[in-house]
Structure 1
Amino acid sequence: MKALPRWYLIVGFVLLVWLLYLLGPMLSPFIIAIVLAYMGDPLVDRLERMKISRTWGVIIVFAIFSLVLTILLVVLVPLLGKQLVRLYELVPQMIDWTQHIALPWVQAKFGLNDNFWRLDQLKGALSDNLGKTTDIVSMVVKKVTASGMALVGWVANLLLIPVVSFYLMRDWDLMVAKLRLMLPRHQEETVVKLMGECHEVIGAFMRGQLLVMLALGVMYATGLMVIGLELGLLIGVFAGLASIVPYLGVFVGISSALIAGLFQFGLDPYPLLAIAAVFVVGQMLEGMLLTPWLVGDRIGLHPVAVIFAIMAGGQLFGFSGILLALPVAAVIMVLLRHAHDFYKQSGAYNNGEVID
């Protein structure tokens, strides 16, 4: 049998990408299910080594995931909701403090005109809408209930995630083995090596960087709440999530925490120094303990590449693209590294001399 021309493979790949683009709106539950199955597979494998059947191992892992999700929904979400409402209430007061205390000080220091800042309109708009929260909520509820099919579709997608994830997690090793059997025999070793490196990089991110984000979020939120910062939980969680990009979490967290601290404590230096100390200690622990222990140097994605991947994924494929952005970027990084090594050994780089 004749081998397929390479342009067939290229056309097939382009068609696959185009099909995924068209199916983007419905891919989110499947992508989330794949991520959960990928993260849960090592736990199931470990339970299998303890003489527990694959099915029961999946059930145990699902029970652990469900317990963690329940704790988040019952404990964390209501607390974050309260702080979001409190932040919404404080915004007009923060604008007032900025306009009458902070900005006059800046004007005096830099000799700016009195009419340089115009925050009255923004403050008035926020104050007018402050009492309309219930109206906004009722409007959203009416919109959702008016589109019954959209609501049914959303619930169906939500219920689809655990079902798909269960079957993927149960059959993960079997599917990987079947995919390996489909590889061209003369290229199996190379492809398996590349996929092994991709797996190491993706695993380092998904099981390492996410744990670093979780640990930083807990440390930041706990430290800020101990200090007594009113929005400490909200800022700590947000800073932990922003830590997906190196150094972005500490920058966003300390900036927002110091602004909230200035508004709450005034110019009292001790709470502000304590806020700064929380993020300094968190950054030291991340650099010296968390990242080397949980992640190591296996990811290798530059912070700019991380930002670009997330933005590009969201622009091209929406929420599904955001979920896939960093794993795809990690795979591309591995392939580019091997392409770079191949180029350095080729005749194009070595003036016609090929290095074995």
Structure 2
Amino acid sequence: MTINSRMVYSVGGVILLALLFRALSPILMPFAIAAVLAYMGDPLVDRLEERRIGRSAAVVIVFSCLTLVSLIIVLVTLPILLDQVQLLITRLHAFVQWFQAEALPQLRAFLDLPDRGQPPIDSAKEALSKNWNAAGGVLLYLWQKISGSSMAFITWMANVALIPVVTFYLLRDWDLMTAAIRKLLPRSREQLCVDLATECDDILGAFARGQLLVMLALAAIYTIGLWAVGVDLALVLGLVAGLASIVPYLGFLVGIVAAGVAAYFQFGLSWELLAVAGVFGVGQVLESVLLTPTLVGDKIGLHPVMVIFAVLAGGQLFGFLGVLLALPAAAVFKVLFSYLHQRYLISQWYSEGGLPLTPTDEESLSEPRQ
């Protein structure tokens, strides 16, 4: 088989794999989440194996500990979270009433718009009462949607139930699967593939473990800070800002805007607004100076613009599954692009028309990055 035919088959295989991934993305979510959890738990299992504990017993220990910690967190935070969500709904209803009664008339007066005499919400209610037959059709349509969504909800719950089962089996057979994949590699390229996979593992490990700890730490900092200020929705706002920090500066922007609006409607123009800004300012400084350098380090090396593009592109192509796997995929692509860049610099194509590289340069470029 010639080099050109190998290239054609390789590109065709990658395209078919991407199309298959896109077609199966609705059912791949539990498997993707389970693979991420198994990847993060495998080092703990390996450490227990080093202490002469069997693989299955080590998986049971790690899996049980993770499940117990998750249940404790859910049981502690879920009641508070439900109360704050109910409070959030009440605040949103009050905001709509305020906007309709006060802000909208002032906006019309400022823009010199004619007064329609009746608020839009009341007009909608009146139109609904005059067209009850049509409204009945709308209600029937909504009922059909709700009935269909119940099946979607059942499917979603089944997928959630699959996650721990798939995680357990992947975690138990993780080393066997990696060994089987290594046996399939071409013998002439095995060491190169192992070196690239090792570098990808360093980047993915730094991202999966370090970035998760950064997100949890920021969520705790924002929640405790907002609670100390006295914001009623401290837990909801802190969790949202912490989770959104997976994208650089997004958690800070979303958190400070949402918390500022919540504090304004709770306290008005007072010192609490400055305190909210101070909480997010302290969180941003701690993330830049302490959390990210300590927990993540410089192994990932993804530019913030690349991170934002990867998340948006993953969501556009594969939905939420693409968002979940966007940054790990971007880290892998970065490693592969760095290798291709090195090969390009020592290729004849690059040296044509310019000064040829010395043997020392070729040797340094051909060495895999550590």
Please indicate, yes or no, whether the TM-score normalized by the shorter chain is above 0.5: yes
Which of the numbers 226, 229, 233 marks the counterpart of 2:228?
226
After TM superposition, the structure 1 = structure 2 runs for residues 280-319 of structure 1, keeping only pairs within 5 Å, are 280-319=281-320
2:41–2:171 contact (8 Å) kept in structure 1: yes
Partner of 1:172: 174
Partner of 2:342: 341
Which stretch shows the higher mean deviation, 28-37 or 173-182?
Answer: 173-182
Distance in 1 between residues matched to 2:268 and 2:155, nearest whole Å: 49
Measured after TM superposition, the shift of residue 146 of structure 1 is: 6.0
Partner of 2:9: 8
Distance in 2 between residues matched to 1:123 and 1:311, nearest whole Å: 39
Distance in 1 between residues matched to 2:298 and 2:334, nearest whole Å: 14
Measured after TM superposition, the shift of residue 45 of structure 1 is: 0.9
- 1:235 is aligned with what amino acid? L
1:95–1:123 contact (8 Å) kept in structure 2: no
2:29 is equivalent to residue 22 of structure 1: no
Which secondary structure does the structure 2 equivalent of 1:261 belong to?
helix
After TM superposition, the structure 1 = structure 2 runs for residues 1-356 of structure 1, keeping only pairs within 5 Å, are 5-95=6-96, 112-115=110-113, 121=120, 143=147, 147=151, 150=152, 153-268=155-270, 270-350=271-351, 351=353, 353-355=355-357, 356=362
Distance in 1 between residues matched to 2:85 and 2:149, nearest whole Å: 24
Count of aligned residue pairs for this structure pair: 340
1:346–1:352 contact (8 Å) kept in structure 2: no
Gap regions ≥5 residues in structure 1: 127-134
Which stretch shows the higher mean deviation, 60-69 or 339-348?
Answer: 339-348
Taking a change above 3 Å as real, the CA distance of residues 9 and 295 of structure 1, as seen in their structure-2 partners, is: same
Taking a change above 3 Å as real, the CA distance of residues 174 and 116 of structure 1, as seen in their structure-2 partners, is: farther
2:108–2:115 contact (8 Å) kept in structure 1: no
1:346–1:353 contact (8 Å) kept in structure 2: no
Measured after TM superposition, the shift of residue 83 of structure 1 is: 1.6
Give the RMSD, CA atoms, in angstroms.
3.2
Q: How high is the TM-score relative to the length of structure 2?
A: 0.81
Gap regions ≥5 residues in structure 2: 126-138, 363-370
Distance in 2 between residues matched to 1:99 and 1:329, nearest whole Å: 45
Q: How high is the TM-score relative to the length of structure 1?
A: 0.84
Distance in 1 between residues matched to 2:234 and 2:121, nearest whole Å: 25
Partner of 2:130: none
1:39–1:207 contact (8 Å) kept in structure 2: yes
Distance in 1 between residues matched to 2:280 and 2:227, nearest whole Å: 13
Distance in 2 between residues matched to 1:77 and 1:311, nearest whole Å: 30
Measured after TM superposition, the shift of residue 287 of structure 1 is: 1.4
- 1:121 is aligned with what amino acid? P
Taking a change above 3 Å as real, the CA distance of residues 191 and 10 of structure 1, as seen in their structure-2 partners, is: same
1:40–1:169 contact (8 Å) kept in structure 2: yes
- 2:111 is aligned with what amino acid? N
Which stretch shows the higher mean deviation, 42-51 or 95-104?
Answer: 95-104
Report which of the two structures shows the higher radius of gyration computed on alpha carbons. Answer: 2
Measured after TM superposition, the shift of residue 144 of structure 1 is: 6.0
Partner of 1:132: none
Which secondary structure does the structure 2 equivalent of 1:349 belong to?
helix
Which stretch shows the higher mean deviation, 1-10 or 338-347?
Answer: 1-10
Measured after TM superposition, the shift of residue 334 of structure 1 is: 1.4
Taking a change above 3 Å as real, the CA distance of residues 152 and 107 of structure 1, as seen in their structure-2 partners, is: closer
Which stretch shows the higher mean deviation, 35-44 or 75-84?
Answer: 75-84
